[in-house]
Amino acid sequence: MTAQRGSTPGGPAASAVSRRCFLRRSATAAGAIVVGFDPSTRAWAAAGQQTGSLARGFPAFDGALRTDAGARLAVADDFGHLVHRRPMAVLEPGSVEDIARLIRFAARHGISVAARGEGHSAFGQSQVRGGVVIDMRRLARVHRIDAASVEADAGVTWRTLLDATLERGLTPPVLTDYQDLSLGGTLSVGGIGGAGLRHGAQVDNVLALDVVTGEGLRVRCSRTRSPLLFDAVLAGRGQCGVITRAVLKLIPAPAAVRLFDLLYVDLAAFAADARIVVRDGRFDTVQGLVVPSPAGGWAYLLEATSSTGRADDELLAGLRDVRSEAAISDMPFAAYAKRLDPIVEAQQASGDWARPHPWVGAWLPDRHAEAFAGRVLSELTLRDTGGGPILLYPTRSQAFTRPLLRVPAGELIWQFSILRTTLATTAPAEEMVSDNRVLLARARRVGGIDYPVGAAPASQREWARHYGRAWPAFLRAKRRYDPQRILAPGQGIFTPLGRP
Ligand SMILES: Cc1cc2nc3c(=O)[nH]c(=O)nc-3n(C[C@H](O)[C@H](O)[C@H](O)COP(=O)(O)OP(=O)(O)OC[C@H]3O[C@@H](n4cnc5c(N)ncnc54)[C@H](O)[C@@H]3O)c2cc1C
């Protein structure tokens, strides 16, 4: 392993290969530059080091390939803080071609590679033991915005994208609740939010993608151009390619929204009203939260927004009398989109943000949602959640069109997620992870399907079952676009999952 003074702007001292420094002297006072890869020891070779025979064709990068402990440790962790797999190097790409160069070299030598956006996965999804992690944040430019679309690098966060599009009065149709996630990161899993009832998930609003395949080929794909790749990359968990750029649909952004928080003490009443408003589409967004009830047990918060200017009476017509428990507020659309910011800041300040997060999430079919959630909630205490949010709300399945974002059949589907935090007062993280597996198995028995961004390890057989009728095409795409199976092994989909 090497130690070269950082050639990365702003970065710490680093081991690096860059075209610039590659052409310069090949050694510095602090150490040496990576000049190759020794396939017999599977180690990077530094200039001046005694090595066996180096593999031919080691690329020169526009950016930097870092092998220092700092860089490697930083990507051997994520928001879950549950899995720690250390790569042998981190690529900070200086160009898309760097990603293609690295992957071509890696494919020849069986080196695993995973893209990492903002690292907000919960269970090592973007980690790769002994391989190379690509830090996608290095390529993060919004390239073009027109009246109906935006083209941006995959390393751009939704916050940056939204700020740029709002300047033109436009927004992506679906926003996640939290904006500091990368485009590539959410497009690899789905990207869901309150606008799902109209617009599906973020993956349903992609017009085209630029992808580097597992063979290092650069391909632009869309619904009509290389559709096998397009379908395998959206919600494809980085298995068939690294997304480098996305062309996303935009719609006019409302200037302001009226936010309705309707509190229910009764699950059945909450579910009945939630079904009514999702079915008739009177609101722009609909979500729901399970919150501790002051009287003990759980209460249910229906959170809906409207930007139409319709009267409150009209928007609440036909619902049970929620007036006394309704909080209604007006806010700029941007403030609504960033409504979690103060909560996140408080969690960061308290240190809870840095604690383990054994999250779990599933989609439930409408006919079982209420009974299933009711049963789970009756057994759930703060010891199991650490006070983390619990999401429960229906949405319309019709707008969810991408084959790899698996959802149950039926007009309405329910999102049910327990966003656990491990505290000193809660069950230990391992117990929560094991509870996650039990919960998902129970959900599957009633026709539920995981939304796999959480902490619940799955076997290859379970993944095949998860993808169901989409599995044969996914497998075909994997064989075609990542024949060496080097991409994103941290989820154990096509290769067995190693130790955490
Ligand atoms: C606080 C918080 C709030 C969240 N809110 C929501 C929400 O409202 N809705 C929702 O749907 N999800 C939500 N999530 C989950 C989140 O969408 C996923 O965990 C997402 O994958 C994280 O994005 P990231 O940029 O951090 O990706 P990473 O964790 O860096 O990567 C996630 C996966 O995507 C792959 N990947 C990353 N970039 C690329 C790329 N360019 N090309 C190919 N593969 C890539 C990685 O290899 C990995 O498998 C939330 C997570 C957190 C921590």
What would the mean pLDDT of 442-461 be, rounded to a whole number? 96
> Does residue 115 contact residue 183 with C-beta atoms inside 8 Å?
no
Query: Considering only 48-57, 411-420, 436-445, which range has the smallest mean pLDDT?
Result: 48-57
The band of 11, judged by pLDDT with boundaries at 50, 70 and 90, is very low
Neighbours of 324 (CB within 10 A): 6
The band of 442, judged by pLDDT with boundaries at 50, 70 and 90, is very high
**Closest Cα partner for 130 from 43, 240, 239, 237?**
43
Atom number in ligand 1 closest to CA 191:
11
Which of 120, 125, 176 to mutate to test ligand 1, by most ligand atoms within 8 A of the CB atom?
A: 120
What is residue 74's predicted lDDT score, i.e. its pLDDT?
A: 97
What is residue 19's predicted lDDT score, i.e. its pLDDT?
A: 39
What is the Å distance from ligand 1's center to 254 Cα? 26
What is residue 321's predicted lDDT score, i.e. its pLDDT?
A: 65
pLDDT at 290 over 70: yes
pLDDT tens for each residue of 385-415:
999 999 999 999 999 999 999 999 999 999 9
The band of 44, judged by pLDDT with boundaries at 50, 70 and 90, is confident
Instruction: Report the alpha-carbon distance of residue 164 to residue 333 in Å, rounded.
Output: 14
What is residue 282's predicted lDDT score, i.e. its pLDDT?
A: 97
Letter for the amino acid at 422?
A: T
What is the Å distance from ligand 1's center to 119 Cα? 7
What is residue 4's predicted lDDT score, i.e. its pLDDT?
A: 30
What would the mean pLDDT of 196-220 be, rounded to a whole number? 98
Instruction: Report the alpha-carbon distance of residue 129 to residue 133 in Å, rounded.
Output: 9
Which pair of tokens denotes residue 495?
Answer: 């290769």
Which pair of tokens denotes residue 493?
Answer: 């989909």
What is the Å distance from ligand 1's center to 188 Cα? 7
Query: What are phi and psi for residue 190, nearest 5 degrees?
Result: 145, -65
What is the Å distance from ligand 1's center to 308 Cα? 31
* Ligand 1 atom 36: residue of nearest CA: 185
pLDDT at 96 over 90: yes
The Cα diameter of the chain in Å comes to: 79
Which of 129, 133, 181 to mutate to test ligand 1, by most ligand atoms within 8 A of the CB atom?
A: 181
The band of 16, judged by pLDDT with boundaries at 50, 70 and 90, is very low
What would the mean pLDDT of 466-480 be, rounded to a whole number? 97
What is the Å distance from ligand 1's center to 189 Cα? 7
pLDDT at 10 over 50: no
Instruction: Report the alpha-carbon distance of residue 150 to residue 236 in Å, rounded.
Output: 22
Residues written for the chain: 500
Neighbours of 284 (CB within 10 A): 20
What is the Å distance from ligand 1's center to 68 Cα? 25
pLDDT at 32 over 80: no
The band of 33, judged by pLDDT with boundaries at 50, 70 and 90, is low
pLDDT at 323 over 70: no
* Ligand 1 atom 12: residue of nearest CA: 191
* Ligand 1 atom 2: residue of nearest CA: 178
What is the Å distance from ligand 1's center to 118 Cα? 7
The band of 326, judged by pLDDT with boundaries at 50, 70 and 90, is confident
The band of 57, judged by pLDDT with boundaries at 50, 70 and 90, is confident
Per-residue HEC secondary structure of the chain comes to: CCCCCCCCCCCCCCCCCCHHHHHCCCEECCEECEEEEECCCCEEEECCCCCCCCCCCCCCCCCEEECCHHHHHHCCCCCCCCCCCCCCEEEECCCHHHHHHHHHHHHHHCCCEEEECCCCCCCCCCCCCCCEEEEHHHCCCEEEECCCEEEEECCCEHHHHHHHHHCCCEECCCCCCCCCCEHHHHHCCCCCCCCHHHHCCHHHHEEEEEEEECCCCEEEECCCCCHHHHHHHCCCCCCCEEEEEEEEECEECCCEEEEEEEEECCHHHHHHHHHHHHHHCCCCEEEEEEEECCCCCEEEEEEEEECCCCCHHHHHCCCCCCHHHEEEEEEEHHHHHCCCHHHHHHHHHHCHHHCCCCCEEEEEEHHHHHHHHHHHHHHCCHHHHCCCCEEEEEEEHHHCCCCCCCCCCCCEEEEEEECCCCCCCCCCHHHHHHHHHHHHHHHHHCCCEECCCCCCCCCHHHHHHHHHHHHHHHHHHHHHHCCCCCECHHHCCCCCCCCC
What is the Å distance from ligand 1's center to 182 Cα? 7
Which of 82, 90, 116 to mutate to test ligand 1, by most ligand atoms within 8 A of the CB atom?
A: 116
The larger pLDDT score, comparing residue 464 to residue 16, is at 464
- pTM for this structure? 0.93
What is residue 294's predicted lDDT score, i.e. its pLDDT?
A: 83
Provide, rounded to the nearest whole percent, the portion of the chain with pLDDT above 70: 91
What is residue 53's predicted lDDT score, i.e. its pLDDT?
A: 80
What is the Å distance from ligand 1's center to 269 Cα? 33
What would the mean pLDDT of 294-309 be, rounded to a whole number? 94
What is the Å distance from ligand 1's center to 2 Cα? 31
Q: Which residues have C-beta within 8 Å of that of residue 172, sequence separation ≥ 6? A: 150, 158, 161, 162, 165, 202, 205, 248, 249, 250, 251
pLDDT at 369 over 60: yes
The band of 1, judged by pLDDT with boundaries at 50, 70 and 90, is very low
What is the Å distance from ligand 1's center to 279 Cα? 29
Atom number in ligand 1 closest to CA 451:
11
pLDDT at 500 over 70: no
> Does residue 360 contact residue 418 with C-beta atoms inside 8 Å?
yes
What is residue 47's predicted lDDT score, i.e. its pLDDT?
A: 64
Averaged pLDDT of the chain: 91
Which pair of tokens denotes residue 489?
Answer: 């092994």
Q: Ligand 1: residues within 6 Å at CB? A: 78-79, 114-121, 125-126, 136, 154, 176-178, 181-182, 184-186, 188-193, 237-238, 242-243, 453, 488
* Ligand 1 atom 16: residue of nearest CA: 186
pLDDT at 51 over 70: no
What is residue 54's predicted lDDT score, i.e. its pLDDT?
A: 82
pLDDT tens for each residue of 154-200:
999 999 999 999 999 999 999 999 999 999 999 999 999 999 999 99
Which of 188, 202, 402 to mutate to test ligand 1, by most ligand atoms within 8 A of the CB atom?
A: 188
pLDDT tens for each residue of 251-274:
999 999 999 999 999 999 999 999
What is residue 18's predicted lDDT score, i.e. its pLDDT?
A: 43
> Can you give the C-alpha Rg of the chain in angstroms?
23
What is residue 472's predicted lDDT score, i.e. its pLDDT?
A: 97
pLDDT at 21 over 60: no
